[in-house]
Amino acid sequence: MNATTASTTALMVNQSDCPEVEVPVPLFFTIGVVGLAENFLVVVAVICNRNLHSPMYCFICSLAAFNTIASLAKTWENLMLVFAGVGQLDQRGSSETKLDDVMDSLLCMSFVGSIFSFMAIAVDRYITIFHALRYHNIMTMRRTAAILGVIWTTCGVLAMLMVRFFDTIFIMTCFIIFFLISLVLIGCLYVYMFMLARIHARRIAALPTSGSGRGRWRRQRWRGGTMRGALTLTILFGAFVVCWAPFFLHLIIIMVCPLNPYCECYRSLFQLHVVLLMSHALIDPAIYAFRSAELRHTFRKMLLCSDWR
Amino acid sequence: MSDFHNQSQASARRSDYVWQYEYYDDEEPVSFEGLKAHRYSIVIGFWVGLAVFVIFMFFVLTLLTKTGAPHQENPEHAEKHHRPGSCLADNGSPQDENERAFSRPLLPESRSFFHFYISEEEQGQGKCKAEDQGGGAIQGQRARNRLGGVSSSGMEEMEEEGEESEERQPLQGLVDEGKSDRESAFLSHFNIPNFVNLEHSSTLGEDDLLLCEPSAMLGSQHWPLLM
């Protein structure tokens, strides 16, 4: 009697001590659908407006396309889970597992692809600033198309490999190391750009002035401008880290300490981390695409159905 | 038994999200006895660390802005600025070529940029046309943004720089005549490359565009016309 009560209490304790945090399905759907709509609009806007056929916008379009695929796959998966919960689908059916594999590979592809797109955007901005005079020779449309082709094929291949062999520790380690390397690369690129741009701005602010009042004004404007640059950079990089790091820590924890109770409690928050990942697809257009006046202008035209230019 | 079946079904459903979860369910359930710290200590520690990292990064970036106060005016730069100026560019010295080299990304951009530099130099030169102070003030910030790239308004200015260079192409024929006067006025008074030249050649050593492409830059002056 005592043994059974002890075991049942132990079972209950194990069930309730760090229960899996469930995110309501409507929230998943909302985030998925809104992210899908936003990113799809960005893709359509860049394709339709001829002024936006430049390398920078091609990379932003590619990022939006990857986010679209991620949102689509996630929403589709939610739909399937809802149907499975209701009982319409068989969990173990062969077609369902194949479909599940397809969705997982699409998700992996979009994750890796958006990281590659971030890196491409950072490199493109770097070349824009520090090799501005040769930018149009370095970054031609042909090279941009080649880079995008390489990114998309690599992502497709990696996605298929990852889904097939995800059980192996090696692939997961590679995934995590890839994420960390790209994080460091992107961070270094942006901080380097920021520091050199600050030096440029300082030089401008040190131009000879007619009076001390003017100089003070210029110093203040210089500081205000650089402060905004710091804020933009923090938002850019901070959003990337905050949205991606929890998921990757989850992967690390799965590999490193599967049986530790602390790690178990972290793993119970998995759905929240997936929500964060999906919301990154949501806020990406706000950080990258909507900062551009031309794109906003195109959006307004598209959404208000006014005459096309 | 049915409880266990439901549990495995629930975990199988969760396995749609992460394919490893079910794998660990097969083993012994994790024991929560005798935990020293709070259950969610990893979660709390992770988020606190992340918040600290982001805030630390922001403070480092803003500290960079605060400690980088502009230098006092150097007498050597003063004499270069107060060069007796005509409104036309002279073609001999490498200084002018560097100016042209550095001014190249600015040429396709808006005229307000020229207004800024012309207004900045007005007290020294007085021979060239100067725009009014009010316009120069607002345009000055935008101009500084363009030159500074990231430093002001962050990426927005960089993107505007890129997109305006694309937008200008269809309009080049129309605004060229207006621009050429401003270009020549602008080129003779634009002295920033003196600073950038020293900085780049000493610390970076990689940005050769200011030093090694004078002939290309001479041609690039006509870039707006060609496009």
* Residue from the list A18, A20, A131 with its beta carbon closest to the beta carbon of B209: A131
Confidence label for B185 from pLDDT (cuts 50, 70 and 90):
very low
Length of chain B measured in residues: 227
B217: pLDDT strictly greater than 80: no
Q: What is the pLDDT of residue A22?
A: 85
Which amino acid is located at A27 in the chain? L
* Residue from the list A131, A191, A229 with its beta carbon closest to the beta carbon of B152: A229
Question: What pLDDT, in 10s, does the model give residues A113-132?
Answer: 888 888 888 888 888 888 88
- B108 chain-A contacts, CB cut-off 8 A: none
- Cα torsion angle, A64, A69, A70, A75, sign: positive
* CB of A229 less than 8 A from some CB of B: yes
Confidence label for A66 from pLDDT (cuts 50, 70 and 90):
very high
Q: What is the overall mean pLDDT for chain B?
A: 50
Q: Of A25, A212, A222, which to mutate for an interface test with B (greatest number of B Cβ within 10 Å)?
A: A222
The residue to which tokens 């893709």 are assigned: A43
Q: What is the pLDDT of residue A261?
A: 82
**Is A236 in contact with A190 (CB distance < 8 Å)?**
yes
Question: What pLDDT, in 10s, does the model give residues B5-31?
Answer: 555 555 555 555 555 455 555 455 566
Q: What separation, in Å, do the N-terminal and C-terminal C-alpha atoms of chain A show?
A: 81
Beta carbons within 8 Å of A269's beta carbon, 6+ residues apart: A21, A246, B43
Beta carbons within 8 Å of B222's beta carbon, 6+ residues apart: none
Q: What is the pLDDT of residue A148?
A: 93
Reported pTM: 0.61
Question: What pLDDT, in 10s, does the model give residues A12-30?
Answer: 444 557 788 888 888 888 9
**Is B192 in contact with B98 (CB distance < 8 Å)?**
no
Beta-carbon-side half-sphere exposure of residue A225 (alpha carbons within 13 Å): 33
The residue to which tokens 């059916």 are assigned: A93
* CB of A293 less than 8 A from some CB of B: yes
Chain A's closest residue to B133, CA to CA, is A214
Interface of B with A in 155-174 (CB under 8 A): 155-156, 158-163, 166-167
Interface of A with B in 102-141 (CB under 8 A): 104, 125, 128-135
Name the nearest CA neighbour of B97 among B222, B227, B212.
B212
Contact state of B166 with A219 under an 8 Å Cβ cutoff: no
Q: What is the pLDDT of residue A195?
A: 80
Contact state of B144 with A167 under an 8 Å Cβ cutoff: no
Confidence label for B134 from pLDDT (cuts 50, 70 and 90):
very low
Interface of A with B in 36-75 (CB under 8 A): 51-54, 56-57
The arithmetic mean of pLDDT across residues B119-142, rounded, is 43
Contact state of B43 with A269 under an 8 Å Cβ cutoff: yes
Query: Using CA atoms, how far apart are residues A117 and A124, in angstroms rounded to an integer?
Result: 10
| DSSP calls for A77-112 | HHHHHHHHHHTSS-TT-HHHHHHHHHHHHHHHHHHH
Portion of chain B with pLDDT greater than 70, in percent: 13
Q: What is the pLDDT of residue A265?
A: 85
Domains in chain A: ranges and CATH: 25-304 (1.20.1070.10)
The arithmetic mean of pLDDT across residues B44-62, rounded, is 87
Interface of A with B in 167-206 (CB under 8 A): 167, 190-191, 193-206
The arithmetic mean of pLDDT across residues B81-95, rounded, is 44
Name the nearest CA neighbour of A237 among A183, A157, A273.
A183
Contact state of A225 with B153 under an 8 Å Cβ cutoff: yes
* Residue from the list B12, B31, B213 with its beta carbon closest to the beta carbon of A261: B31
CB contacts < 8 A, A to B, total: 263
Query: Using CA atoms, how far apart are residues B69 and B86, in angstroms rounded to an integer?
Result: 32
Contact state of A11 with B29 under an 8 Å Cβ cutoff: yes
Q: What is the pLDDT of residue B121?
A: 45
